[in-house]
Structure 1
Amino acid sequence: MVAGVQIHSQVSPKAQAEILTDEALTFLAALHRTFNATRLGLLVARESAQQRLDSGVPLDFPTETAQIRAEPSWQCAPPGPGLEDRRVEITGPTDRKMVVNALNSGAKTFMADFEDATSPTFRAMIEGQVNLRDAIRRQIDFEANGKQYKLSPNPAVLIVRPRGWHLDEPRVTVDNTPVSGSLFDFGVYFFHNAKELVKRGFGPYFYLPKMEHYREARLWNDVFLFSQSYIGMQHNTIRATVLIETLPAAFQMEEILFELRNHSSGLNCGRWDYIFSFIKRRRADRSAVLPDRKDVTMEVGFMDAYVRLLIQTCHKRKVAAMGGMSAQIPIKGDEEANRIAMDKVRADKLREVTNGHDGTWIAHPLINKIARDVFDEHMIGPNQYHIRREDVRVAAQDLLNTKVPGKITVAGVRSNVATALAYSGAWIGGNGCIPLNWLMEDAATAEITRVQLWQWVHHGARLDTGEAITAEYVDALVDAPDIEREVRAAVPALQDEHLRIVKAYLKEQVRKQWPSEFLTSDLMPYLAAADGVPTKWQRSVL
């Protein structure tokens, strides 16, 4: 029993007892009491920034930090042990089988994801922590369905992505306030594993998602300093890579690195969430309406500018500029379709390495060799920090360039509806990472589909046939029997009630004045209710 701390759900008694120890909860309570008020204030600041954008004030590079951008002398910390070469990083959720397979994949690092690839049921959060603890101590081997899962002698280096600042953890409260999902995921993992990781020659490494301002990076840095002091660890042992996956953050890359400079290990192009943020933050701008999401490639103006600026920024400050995800998974039973898909992976990785990226992301172990071969051929050393890209000149308008060739088609709208329903239904059912059309999809894709449907309806966009995209048009697709059959085929375990919930949710979303910030925040009460959390800690959605 820890004063002021309440746990409102129960999962495996053994796992929960091992992870939510009194000592770990005391640390978590200290993090909450020290930093939660600042976190909440920063979330309010996001709302204020959005109101300015809605009123027509354009995004630009901050004037108050011009000196930070202009000063050539400061650099970030050197790579932590095991992070010097990150040419291929595999990502995925924290279930036990995935952890073993990812660590054994041959990739240089494994980003264990408590965020977009995980539906945050309390069981998933607690058992994920158990799995990572066991993997670090080489005690994760197990047998399932007659198959042995055993960790290799030289597994990938582990990096953990906690949830974003916007998400609460309603199953745990401190002083009658839900703790931050970020602080919960970070705090529990750090408390149990930081010293053990250092003892084994590595360190506590993290990916930090969905930040929108350098002050949010400052908060993370303060959390790192506090946490290292709390357990008696040398300062600047932690390393963190920031995902630049929001439009505002693209204007503050150097500032974000500066705030985290003694703990930084680089930036990453979180490409799918970046498109989601581009639509959401420019929600009031009719000129920012985008075509079918398949046409919003990395070669279009605003995406290319963001990539080039990120690489230049990272190499200027001597840290890794990580490329984005290839979501393709092998296509079984169709050799020609599989060849085409794998050729897309090669082309994407070739674009990244020749642009100057230091590594890339994959979602499936069998993609490792393709990505690795491309980077091995074109990146001779452990990284490309020496490629400074001093030729790059990116202005604010380049990051806001909405000239995207393409059309809005019936197939594009139908795909968005089917994807939003399938993923959201699976997420409520406890699965945060699902294969759809031979792509491994997480919450980012569902977010793009949701806000793009909203954008088309809100701004009165028309199909290439001339037909208007209205809320009623979307309703008809949501209720279409063939789309429901497609959704059920993609998610065989989908429950009728979950499908009913997400159908109603999508219809409600396209009618709102502004889209919700995150569907994961909207749908979290359903997970909380399923975990037995009292109603007072749930937030009504529909």
Structure 2
Amino acid sequence: MASFEETFHQPNNSVQKKSSRIIGYDVPEGVDIRGRYDPEFSKILTRDALQFVADLQREFRNHIKYAMECRKEAKMRYNCGGLPGFDPTTKYIREGEWMCAPVPQAVADRRVEITGPPERKMIIDALNSGAKVFMADLEDALSPSWENLMRSHINLRDAINGTITFHDQARNKVYKLNDQTAKLFVRPRGWHLPEAHIFIDGEPATGCLVDFGLYFIQNHANFRKTQGQGFGPFFYLPKMEHSREARIWNNVFERAEKWAGIEEGSIRATVLIETLPAVFQLNEILYELRDHSVGLNCGRWDYIFSYLKTVQAQPDRILPDRVQVGMNQHFMRSYSDLLIHTCHKRGVHAMGGMAAHIPISDDPEANEASLQLVRKDKLREAKAGHDGTWVAHPGLIPSCMEVFTSIMGNLPNQIHTMKRQDASILDEEDLLQRPRGVCTLEGLRLNTRVGIQYLAAWLTGVGCVPLYNFLEDAAAAEISRVQIWQWLKYGAELDGDGFGVKVNADLFGRVVEEEMARIEREVGNEKFKKGMYQEACKLFTRLCTASVLDDFMTLDAYNYIVIHHPIGLSRL
């Protein structure tokens, strides 16, 4: 694939013309904005903000490139049959008696957190939802088009200022913030993702530095007054594979604190443990961020995706249907136990995983059965020692809050009451144990439907999609894509109705054709024609049948949503 520089090279459009007026972004030297000009966007893309992002890019780009090269080297080892494990050279960190900085009182209680994209109404609903935290997701739940990214930053700024409103014209109702709201965390993109609408010194900016830099510059002062009680802003950090990546984030935080003149340790972050290599680096990641950490989170859906990628060269580790890969699997339960033990040993939160269920309004019995599954999962998390959990829908908050309160009572968390000493005996094999279960034709069909429909939505700017009573984000689509790739590569034998049948290109081709017909029936002919379903099908099928597994589906799909506006072509 061509590089972003090759694919998207356009004349500089930092200054754009309309009639005889010159209208454009006020950019510092070396910065080139290739997204369309908008007066509202220019209030986010101030010269100071862009200078700050450029300074971060210049200071840390070589460190980021080195970290990405290390990822490639590790991947080569895994593809030659190796597996991740604990690093003997950092044993002193794992066995040391150090602690992370005390958790700020503002975020001591995080028993239920809700997540979603920073859409205007979503932000208001989530902050008013009764959850303790809202995580505004600029990564897996956001399709990172220029419009989405810029409007997300506008929405976040207005939320922190307390001025955010949304007028629902269909209902003639205005939504605004309550007096008491959830605390706001922001998840920037991972290190691997570029921002191809902003070039710095001739190359695309690093997506997470754009996300962090624009948000921090606009909001750090107001945030500390209204949200953080002298601390913050607060972040979730995704997709890490090694503590060297946490070290870069720590240095970014220190750089930002120095720039703003605030105390070291003001910025706080929770790291999502959502890659298999990272589970062997829990202590090391916390150690690097020890002055800025408020814990770790079990990002279990991405973790399953990462497990598949990491063991892709090993045919004896075929993953069963994704609905069978829950926390009852030994390798998943061990991951959760080790995370809890590590966090509590170091004095920070151990956050549980996502409940992606959506209330089923037209079927009370099915809805109650779904809620019972959620309650059971959250009770397991609370009893295990997690300090809080995630939900994707406000309707789940009361049940999850009740479950965690039944275990925690009036305590804000379980950091000092639930130290899992037994987790210290976990070894590498516990974290790598082969999953149990079967592959089925229905599993293949579900993966195909979910993958194509999610990708079709993502290509039209929607990154969080309700499908079959679940709210799916990029992680679900990635599991679907990589699992099909694995089953095709190794000819997985199907159980159940497809017993004795092996997955091959012909079978997958028939399934794609049949599931596309089903999607058309489900969404309706008109919506199907107007949507990006055909384009998504071609892209998804190509990714599933590729000879070499792509690391991230969204990297390939990103090419489809980048739109550059050369001189004179911006819509003003």
Relative to the length of structure 2, the TM-score reads 0.90
User: Matches of 2:54 and 2:177 in 1, distance apart?
Assistant: 34
Q: Deviations over 1:334-357 (max 9, x none)?
A: 111101111111011101000000
Q: Report the counterpart of residue 412 of structure 1 in structure 2.
A: 443
Superposition deviation, residue 533 in structure 1: 7.7
User: Matches of 2:407 and 2:342 in 1, distance apart?
Assistant: 21
Residue number among 386, 396, 399 corresponding to 1:370 in the alignment = 399
User: Matches of 1:40 and 1:98 in 2, distance apart?
Assistant: 35
Cα pair distance change 1:493/1:209, threshold 3 Å? farther
| Native 8 Å contact 1:435 1:490 kept in 2 | no
Say whether residues 1:137 and 2:161 are aligned partners.
yes
Say whether residues 1:437 and 2:476 are aligned partners.
no
Say whether residues 1:34 and 2:25 are aligned partners.
no
Say whether residues 1:107 and 2:131 are aligned partners.
yes
| Native 8 Å contact 1:425 1:502 kept in 2 | yes
Q: Report the counterpart of residue 474 of structure 1 in structure 2.
A: 508
User: Matches of 2:368 and 2:226 in 1, distance apart?
Assistant: 40
User: Matches of 2:507 and 2:240 in 1, distance apart?
Assistant: 34
Q: Which moved more, 1:194-203 or 1:173-182?
A: 194-203
| Native 8 Å contact 1:36 1:179 kept in 2 | no
Say whether residues 1:299 and 2:328 are aligned partners.
yes
Say whether residues 1:262 and 2:305 are aligned partners.
no
Cα pair distance change 1:58/1:450, threshold 3 Å? same
User: Matches of 1:488 and 1:312 in 2, distance apart?
Assistant: 48
Cα pair distance change 1:252/1:493, threshold 3 Å? farther
**Equivalence map 1:352-363=2 (5 Å):** 352-363=381-392
Superposition deviation, residue 493 in structure 1: 4.8
Superposition deviation, residue 442 in structure 1: 0.3
Cα pair distance change 1:525/1:201, threshold 3 Å? closer
Q: Report the counterpart of residue 396 of structure 1 in structure 2.
A: 428
Residue number among 139, 152, 163 corresponding to 1:128 in the alignment = 152
Q: Deviations over 1:101-158 (max 9, x none)?
A: 0000000000000000011111111111111111111100232221110100010000
Which amino acid in structure 2 is aligned with residue 147 of structure 1?
Answer: K
Q: Report the counterpart of residue 110 of structure 2 in structure 1.
A: 86
**Equivalence map 1:207-286=2 (5 Å):** 207-286=236-315
Say whether residues 1:428 and 2:454 are aligned partners.
no
SS at 1:2's partner residue?
A: coil
Whose radius of gyration is greater, 1 or 2? 2
* RMSD after superposition: 1.5
Superposition deviation, residue 78 in structure 1: 1.3
Q: Report the counterpart of residue 448 of structure 1 in structure 2.
A: 479
User: Matches of 2:473 and 2:521 in 1, distance apart?
Assistant: 17
Which amino acid in structure 1 is aligned with residue 452 of structure 2?
Answer: L
Superposition deviation, residue 506 in structure 1: 2.4
Cα pair distance change 1:532/1:471, threshold 3 Å? farther
SS at 2:532's partner residue?
A: helix
User: Matches of 2:531 and 2:163 in 1, distance apart?
Assistant: 39
Superposition deviation, residue 201 in structure 1: 5.3
| Native 8 Å contact 1:209 1:242 kept in 2 | yes
Superposition deviation, residue 495 in structure 1: 5.4
Structure 1, unaligned runs of 5 or more: 535-542
Q: Report the counterpart of residue 175 of structure 2 in structure 1.
A: 149
Superposition deviation, residue 61 in structure 1: 0.2
Superposition deviation, residue 497 in structure 1: 6.9
Q: Report the counterpart of residue 317 of structure 1 in structure 2.
A: 346
Relative to the length of structure 1, the TM-score reads 0.95
Identity, in percent, stands at 45
User: Matches of 1:252 and 1:64 in 2, distance apart?
Assistant: 12
User: Matches of 1:294 and 1:521 in 2, distance apart?
Assistant: 26
User: Matches of 2:252 and 2:202 in 1, distance apart?
Assistant: 21
Residue number among 538, 546, 549 corresponding to 1:515 in the alignment = 549
User: Matches of 2:36 and 2:470 in 1, distance apart?
Assistant: 34
| Native 8 Å contact 2:282 2:342 kept in 1 | yes
User: Matches of 1:282 and 1:467 in 2, distance apart?
Assistant: 23
| Native 8 Å contact 2:183 2:227 kept in 1 | no
User: Matches of 2:211 and 2:528 in 1, distance apart?
Assistant: 27
Superposition deviation, residue 9 in structure 1: 1.1
Which amino acid in structure 1 is aligned with residue 486 of structure 2?
Answer: Q
Residue number among 200, 205, 226 corresponding to 1:179 in the alignment = 205
SS at 1:215's partner residue?
A: helix
Q: Report the counterpart of residue 537 of structure 1 in structure 2.
A: none
Superposition deviation, residue 488 in structure 1: 6.5
| Native 8 Å contact 1:244 1:269 kept in 2 | yes
SS at 2:560's partner residue?
A: helix
Which amino acid in structure 2 is aligned with residue 25 of structure 1?
Answer: L
SS at 1:68's partner residue?
A: helix
User: Matches of 1:257 and 1:533 in 2, distance apart?
Assistant: 44
Superposition deviation, residue 200 in structure 1: 2.5
